[in-house]
Amino acid sequence: MVSRFHSRNGTCGSGTAPADHPPDIKALLWEMLRQVPRGSVTTYGALADSLGDRGAARAIGSLLSKNPTPPDPPCHRVVYADGRTGWYKGKGKGAEEKISLLRNEGVDVREGHVDLEKHLFTDFQTIPVLKIMMAEQLALSKQIDFDGGPLPDTLSAIDVSYDGDTAFAARVDFSLSDGSEIGRECVRTTVEFPYIPGYLSFREAEAMRSLLMDDGRLHLIDGNGILHPRGAGIASHLGRDGHRTMGAAKSLLTGELVGRSIIIDGEERGRKVGKYYVSVGNRVTLSQAEEALTRLLDMGVDPSRRAHSEATRFKTSV
């Protein structure tokens, strides 16, 4: 059951939403670390490869720095791809302690480097969950509807603010006719999936999904739609159940900006509108997405910023 707070031209109060259940990356990592034998090391890249995406190496390093119970799991056995031992228990911390732990386990560390030819372990037994999630995104990219009918009168902007692993999501509703705010709603939920570039959907979608409306309105999502390395960002993820969604991101993940058009493989996949990179999520045309945001911006209303401000205010109020 979801508790919510609704308001018309007011502010949101406390509410809760059920947690999502994406793969437990942290539990998988802890299990993998325990597979590294004493006297051996592995690398952040090797862990990421085993999970299915080398690009997740930096995020894995961030997770390991937050290990609450070192040396179990033994995150001190993870080093850089060039053999550098690096830090321990967070950036700039514990380098000497890490070297001491490795040497006590029989690892030869010289001038802050490990001989990877001698000590490297990569034979992990795990599930390549990121590869599976990539396949899901690619499959979703082929199911997007680029025509949702006439542009509705209501646009709802949705954004999320965080306090640790607690997500505070807000939806602020606007009339596209006059730019007036006509309602808002907030929810709070616990998020366990970490931030990994390219996988934002699996971190934020559940909190946002509980705010979607089924009345045909257009939802503006803080993030990308088809302007995504695999063609289906969080706006498309949220639209997969038939909701009308568009992405409005502040950074460009993929494609080339030519004038105001964003080109991928010779096709226009998005447009620059103000400071935002706009793209189709589902059941909307690119021209409609551009028109909806432009209308509000021309009336002095920045819907994405308003949703961000409300999510932040909600976070500080509970």
Active site residues: 75
CA dist., res. 278 & res. 250, Å (int): 9
Closest to 311 measured CA to CA, from 208, 200, 169: 169
Locate 97 and state its tokens: 């302690």
Cβ atoms within 10 Å, residue 96: 10
- Cα atoms in the 13 Å half-sphere on the side-chain side of 257: 12
CA dist., res. 181 & res. 270, Å (int): 26
DSSP string of 53-71, one letter each residue: -GGGHHHHHHHHTT-SSTT
> Which residues have C-beta within 8 Å of that of residue 216, sequence separation ≥ 6?
149, 152, 244
SS3 percent helix, strand, coil of the chain, rounded to 5, is: 30, 25, 45
